[in-house]
Structure 1
Amino acid sequence: MAARVINRFCIILAKKNNKRNILKIKEPKRIPNTLIPEQVKALVAASGNKRDKFLICVLYETGMRIGEALGLRHEDIHSWNKVIQVIPRRNEKRARAKSNEQRSIDISSELIQLYTDYVVYDFDEIDSNYVFVNIWSENIGSPLTYSTIYTKFRRIAKKQGIPFSPHIFRHTHATELLRSGWDASYVQKRLGHKDIQTTISIYAHLNSQDLKQAFQNFQKDKQ
């Protein structure tokens, strides 16, 4: 009788240990995809107005978080020296910068031109300090919300057959910078990461072809 009880206890204990081991197994982390330049061009072309085209280009060229972009004010875009200032603050629709540190992001003349076109043709007589606002409807001039952007992007993604979200542009920008030879510490500062390990382990989507190219460049430099 005692042996039967002990045997049953051992079976129950073994089942519990197995269950514990199963629960400890972590699912592999899903790595976000990045976009190629041709896909970005297709998404920009599919945008319905200059505001949306400018937003996609801002996210792609700067690697800004969507909250940082939606919180931008006109005073943050310095056209004269081609710089965007990312200033931590919350806007009326609760879009905000994740980091509490201010940083400057250098941008191209082409992005400044897109901004100018947007202000001249879409912004027109709208009275708002915010860059990305509703340009039609009864809420004209009010800052865009997260939900509005995600709805717009889902519509474009379905139409173009290119799955994407605002955050994929951040991953794409970081990967392109690293592929071009940027030091990881520079990419860290540009993205506003506190820890360089975040930049390297999460935002660097380099593949075997990247490693091959880097080694070939290394060999050329030695010659």
Structure 2
Amino acid sequence: MNQIRPVGPVATAEPPPGEPPPRRLLDRLRDVLRRHHYAIRTESAYVDWARRFILFHHKRHPQDMGAAEVEAFLTHLAVDRNVAASTQNQARAALLFLYKEVLGIQLPWLDGIVAAKERRRLPVVLTPSEVRALLDGLQSTPWLVAALLYGTGMRLLEGLRLRVKDVDFTRRELVVRSGKGGKDRVTVLPENLVLPLQAQLARAKLRHDRDVADGFGAVWLPDALALKVPSAARSWGWQWVFPSSMRSIDPRSGAERRHHVHEGSIQKAVSLAARRAGIVKPCSPHVLRHSFATHMLQAGYDIRTVQELLGHSDVRTTMVYTHVLNRGGRGVRSPLDAV
């Protein structure tokens, strides 16, 4: 009979007297995720799926379970919870990582899973007049971030994670680092945003100089760069273009430093501006990326160019915007109009 173990993080057997207690399972999962350089958002998601999996099976330890229990949990997500296919795939990836990398168990191919249905939906796209009305309802940093998303096609976090060194005013381009899939790409810097961005950088420089004078000013650096080039953390080029108004404690290192603006503040500002503008479509910062792609195609740019600007690996992903273009009967006359 399988042993029932407490969950909190999940506990392991009691150690012999005099030995330190072993790391709890979810803490070990965090350790391995960090060793593999997973993003903190991925870490939080994987730990949460592991916790849900344990609670679903009445707090049994994953060591005492296997492929059958994983199949049951993933099928439950699709059948009972009706989650999206991407959600089920993330849960599956989290559990496979837990078993392979943390527990050292290679699960057999999970053939018995009921897969969540792939829902193919057209993206929400604003008209140019709706974009103008939305931007008119924004001010200060939310306005600049929203304008940047629409003007460049960046995702929200790509815009907020922009570093000073990746803004090239001479070439009128922005370098997007570690986008979706960990890929870098180059996108356009709109002419209308040159002066506002320069003003934003001037404000960020004053804030950074004050932080340095107060003994702070170090920014989070990717991978092991902080060890290889210790001085880079305080250098101006590595600072965020959109620094937060407050310093905070890094959840991993415990260091106090200034992160970038939180995405929630931009999402709330965009949602409120959309309501004030009378836009009835679901409106989030990501809608501005969809609008950028659609309006670029409407302006006559070829789909390969738009694909590169968006950072899509497969042109078929970009092709969805051609379906948006065909909506509304472009070039087609309804038979009702002839009645």
TM-score > 0.5, shorter chain as reference: yes
Q: Secondary structure at the match of 1:134?
A: strand
Alpha-carbon spacing, 1:28–1:78, altered in 2? closer, same or farther (3 Å): closer
Equivalent-residue separation in structure 2 for 1:205 and 1:33 (angstroms): 9
Alpha-carbon spacing, 1:84–1:203, altered in 2? closer, same or farther (3 Å): farther
Q: Deviations over 1:145-191 (max 9, x none)?
A: 23222222222223223241111111111111111222111111110
Equivalent-residue separation in structure 2 for 1:83 and 1:172 (angstroms): 19
Q: Which amino acid aligns with 2:206?
A: E
Matching residue of 2:8: none
Superposition pairs of residues 161-200 of structure 1, within 5 angstroms: 161-162=278-279, 163-200=282-319
Q: Which amino acid aligns with 1:195?
A: D
Say if 2:129 is the partner of 1:48. no
Q: Which amino acid aligns with 1:66?
A: L
Q: Secondary structure at the match of 1:85?
A: strand
Alpha-carbon spacing, 1:71–1:208, altered in 2? closer, same or farther (3 Å): closer
Say if 2:166 is the partner of 1:59. no
Pairwise CA RMSD:
2.9
Deviation at 1:61, TM superposition (A): 0.9
Matching residue of 2:242: 132
Give the TM-score normalised by structure 2. 0.47
Alpha-carbon spacing, 1:30–1:208, altered in 2? closer, same or farther (3 Å): closer
Say if 2:273 is the partner of 1:156. yes
Q: Any unmatched runs of 5+ in structure 1?
A: 1-22, 89-96, 214-223
Give the TM-score normalised by structure 1. 0.69
Deviation at 1:31, TM superposition (A): 2.2
Q: Which amino acid aligns with 2:138?
A: S
Q: Which amino acid aligns with 1:104?
A: V
Contact 1:175/1:204 (8 A) holds in 2: no
Q: Which amino acid aligns with 2:129?
A: E
Q: Which among 81, 90, 97 is matched to residue 171 of structure 2?
A: 81
In terms of mean alpha carbon deviation, does 167-176 or 156-165 score higher?
156-165
Kindly tell me the number of residue pairs found equivalent between the two proteins. Answer: 180
Return the structure number with greater helix share: 1
Contact 1:178/1:204 (8 A) holds in 2: no
Equivalent-residue separation in structure 2 for 1:143 and 1:63 (angstroms): 19
Q: Which has the higher contact order (CA 8 A, sep 6+)?
A: 1
Q: Secondary structure at the match of 1:99?
A: helix
Equivalent-residue separation in structure 2 for 1:100 and 1:119 (angstroms): 26
Contact 2:267/2:284 (8 A) holds in 1: yes
Q: Which among 102, 113, 119 is matched to residue 195 of structure 2?
A: 113
Contact 2:185/2:311 (8 A) holds in 1: yes
Contact 2:164/2:201 (8 A) holds in 1: no
Deviation at 1:35, TM superposition (A): 1.0
Q: Which amino acid aligns with 2:259?
A: S
Contact 1:73/1:131 (8 A) holds in 2: yes
In terms of mean alpha carbon deviation, does 195-204 or 51-60 score higher?
195-204
Percent of aligned positions that are identical: 28
Alpha-carbon spacing, 1:138–1:185, altered in 2? closer, same or farther (3 Å): closer
